[in-house]
Structure 1
Amino acid sequence: MDFTFSSEEDAYRQELQRFATKVLAPHYQSDDKVAKLRSELVTDMAAMGLTGLRIPERHGGQEATAVIAGMAAEEVARGDFNAGYLIIVNALISDILTRNATEQQQAAWLPPIASGEALPAFCITEPEHGTDAAKLETKAEPDGSGGWRLSGEKTSITLGMAAHSALVLARTGGPGARGVSAFYVDLDKRYVSRSAFDDLGSRAIGRASLHFDGLPVSREQLVGAEGEGFVSVMQGFDYSRAIIGLACLGAAAASLDEAVQWARDRETFGSPIGTFQGVAFPLAEYTTYLKGARHVCYEALWRKDNDLEHSSEAAMAKFWAPKLATEAIHQCLLTFGHLGYSSESPVGQRLRDVIGLEIGDGTAQVSKLVIARNLLGRNYAP
């Protein structure tokens, strides 16, 4: 059993740490105040190859392993948690397109994603259908010439205000999952309107509702076979949920590093506050918990890379890591006392930001359902 990274992986992690510290971290809080995605962020991420991690080299990407994608999300999120969304969304969409799109489609769609020229969004959730995505109501109605027209609303779309293109699930057939198809489309403003959310956290990523009003879609924009969109898309979520877990743990680790240093520097009653068990023990506990959660996340990604079943491990990562990260960051804020409650500290923003991924991409209840069915068998689980 080998728990070490290779020398190349360690060197890449160090490169990511320098990038996150020097390039990303200085903008983390100011981007939140402006509540808008900086175009420079996309450019900087693309220059590091982070927008094309899971894209094949022949299409301009890095063709990185799932483990490397998770490592990148973890280290980027230490400097700027919201920059991690560019890795999470791009990796998920790229993986789906690589597995399901034709070579011609990949050659047209993947290079702009890898270069940062095209920022994609993932459009599944609807006002009445989040977890139960197989019942979505957005329609792709035949236009009489072999294509379709997309009509309906997608909501809670990450990067929704900034995205140039989107992978959209829409109903082309009858009820249920088999009536759903996937399309990769340009977000033409003549047919797509956007409404931004005023969120508690992660304001820079521009979560939004997108309204499709008869967007023309050709057969060349159909991803995979008609009626197979739901199944092909859902298969991609397993490993992306482990990447989400590592992004949350990266933010928690940054806060923990800051709290540990504060416990050394801050004195009260003539001693550093770290000498008091009430301060030191919670930091020791969360260091332990975070290490355990990292192992779960990386195991899921390792299993993905080795073509092993990983849905249960990915579900563990998704429900545990965001929850644990939220709790750990909260404890770090308390360690700083009144200074941690100030908006000048990044700890409070990390807390607000990480909470969003306790909800997004699948709630804890959904993850536990996946684990329970793997554990007990479908006939003996909820």
Structure 2
Amino acid sequence: MLNFSFTEEQDYFRKMLKEFAKEELLPQYTKWDREGVTPRHLWKKLGELGVNGLRIPAEFGGSGADCVTTGIAAEEIGRGDFNLTYAVMLNALIGEIITKHATEELRQEWLPRIASGERIVGIAITEPSAGTDAGGIKTTAFHKGSVYVLNGEKSGISVATAGDAFIIFAKTDTNLGNRGISAFIVPRDLPGVECTGYEDMGNIPIGRGSIYLNDVEVPEENLIGLENQGFAQVMNGFDLSRLLIGLQCVGAAFQSLDETIEHVKVRQSFGKPLAVYQGVSFPIVTHYTHLEMVKWQAYRGLWLRDHGLQHSKESASVKWLGPKYSQEAIHECLLLNGHYAYTKEMPLEQRLRDVIGLEIGDGTAQANQMVIAKDIIGKEFRSY
């Protein structure tokens, strides 16, 4: 039987987050961008609301929520503050990796602090010469006594300047390709770790930047999972984060549409509200329809993940089209609101800048189309 309804608990959670996003996040959304600040106090507030620990088991301070509920958080927080949705997306991905693959000691040390918002943890895979081809990373980790010695550079890393620690992926066997990658929890205060920020177009409060590793000695107990198995761990996690990113973008776009609908119902032109003109209403309808389709494909993908079913192509389609349709909708909203929307007095220009960043992160459009092609055409036709 098909059932597209949410449970009573999920409906309550959505209403609570919708109110929180509208009352507490939306009024200050542009503030952190203008000031170049990561609002750590709001990460802690999200921890109090249970948002940070949705994919962390209850015994470690989380709620052990299902993926659909996590998607609700991504969509609603995205309406209020697009950048704070990283607390949902990043923590869900990292929470799953640590929960499933780390030692009990690492779980006890890190999961409660991530769930509470006390600690911000990033994930570092991308390098200057390895983006879509994650298996091509050059950062190395050599076992030396009771430590691993890490050397390399990670680039384009979210929370690079704000994170307290990072899950670093490095080659532990350079002869094994993708199978020779391992993952480590690396606190930023270890000697030899240097973090620098970028001057990005958008996502300013996320503190994106580079991480330099110069003979960083990481205790061997900070290895996550089995040596040389890190690549498989994170690839599965991307199926979750890509679905959440789609809903994050859709949330920001729906909020923009809601604001624009109110504007065109009130603003007069030639004695009539703008909304009566098809040149205004039809574009709004088009974007609403696109966003609705992506939204429900995202929830379908999350439902499949909750039931242990394959969902890679669904995830890839949401990551491909979610940011694309969202930035197109926000751009249209900016135009329909006129010249004031081109100023920084309104949040539309920032939403546009922020969403465009996720047309790149976690897999470009082309990378996600490759995933879909491999699934529906066959692995033998893939180009990599």
TM-score range, shorter chain: over 0.9
Residue matched to 2:314:
313
- Map 1:288-299 onto structure 2 (within 5 A): 288-299=289-300
Residue matched to 2:367:
366
Write the distance in 2 (CA, Å) between the matches of 1:134 and 1:8: 40
- Map 1:54-133 onto structure 2 (within 5 A): 54-133=55-134
- Map 1:1-382 onto structure 2 (within 5 A): 1-143=2-144, 145-175=145-175, 176-188=177-189, 190-382=191-383
Q: Deviations over 1:127-173 (max 9, x none)?
A: 11111111111111222x13211111111000110100111101111
Write the distance in 1 (CA, Å) between the matches of 2:226 and 2:373: 31
Write the distance in 1 (CA, Å) between the matches of 2:207 and 2:19: 26
Consecutive unaligned residues in structure 1, runs of 5 or more: none
Per-residue deviation, 1:266: 0.2
For the residue of structure 2 that corresponds to 1:340, the secondary structure is: helix
Q: Deviations over 1:270-313 (max 9, x none)?
A: 00000111001111111111111101111110000000000010
One-letter identity of the residue aligned with 1:157: I
Per-residue deviation, 1:381: 4.1
One-letter identity of the residue aligned with 1:253: F
Per-residue deviation, 1:217: 1.0
Matched residues, percent identical? Answer: 43
Write the distance in 2 (CA, Å) between the matches of 1:71 and 1:207: 25
For the residue of structure 1 that corresponds to 2:342, the secondary structure is: coil
Per-residue deviation, 1:380: 3.0
Contact 1:239 1:310 in 2 (8 A): no
Write the distance in 2 (CA, Å) between the matches of 1:88 and 1:135: 24
Write the distance in 1 (CA, Å) between the matches of 2:89 and 2:40: 18
Write the distance in 2 (CA, Å) between the matches of 1:37 and 1:281: 38
Write the distance in 2 (CA, Å) between the matches of 1:198 and 1:4: 42
Task: Between 79-88 and 210-219, report the one with greater CA deviation.
Answer: 210-219
Per-residue deviation, 1:190: 3.0
Per-residue deviation, 1:23: 1.5
Per-residue deviation, 1:216: 1.2
Per-residue deviation, 1:262: 0.6
One-letter identity of the residue aligned with 2:324: K
Per-residue deviation, 1:103: 2.7
Write the distance in 2 (CA, Å) between the matches of 1:190 and 1:244: 33
Write the distance in 1 (CA, Å) between the matches of 2:28 and 2:190: 29
Write the distance in 1 (CA, Å) between the matches of 2:248 and 2:88: 9
Per-residue deviation, 1:189: 5.3
Write the distance in 2 (CA, Å) between the matches of 1:315 and 1:275: 37
Contact 2:45 2:117 in 1 (8 A): no
Query: Structure 1: which 4+ aligned runs deviate by more than 3 Å?
Result: none
Contact 2:374 2:381 in 1 (8 A): yes
For the residue of structure 2 that corresponds to 1:127, the secondary structure is: coil
Per-residue deviation, 1:39: 2.1
Write the distance in 2 (CA, Å) between the matches of 1:247 and 1:153: 28
Write the distance in 1 (CA, Å) between the matches of 2:24 and 2:361: 27
TM-score normalised by structure 2 residue count: 0.97
Per-residue deviation, 1:62: 1.1
Contact 1:61 1:114 in 2 (8 A): yes
One-letter identity of the residue aligned with 2:341: G
One-letter identity of the residue aligned with 1:345: M
Consecutive unaligned residues in structure 2, runs of 5 or more: none
Per-residue deviation, 1:218: 1.5
Contact 1:24 1:80 in 2 (8 A): yes
Contact 2:190 2:216 in 1 (8 A): no
Task: Between 108-117 and 200-209, report the one with greater CA deviation.
Answer: 108-117
Contact 1:188 1:215 in 2 (8 A): no
One-letter identity of the residue aligned with 1:150: L
One-letter identity of the residue aligned with 2:118: E
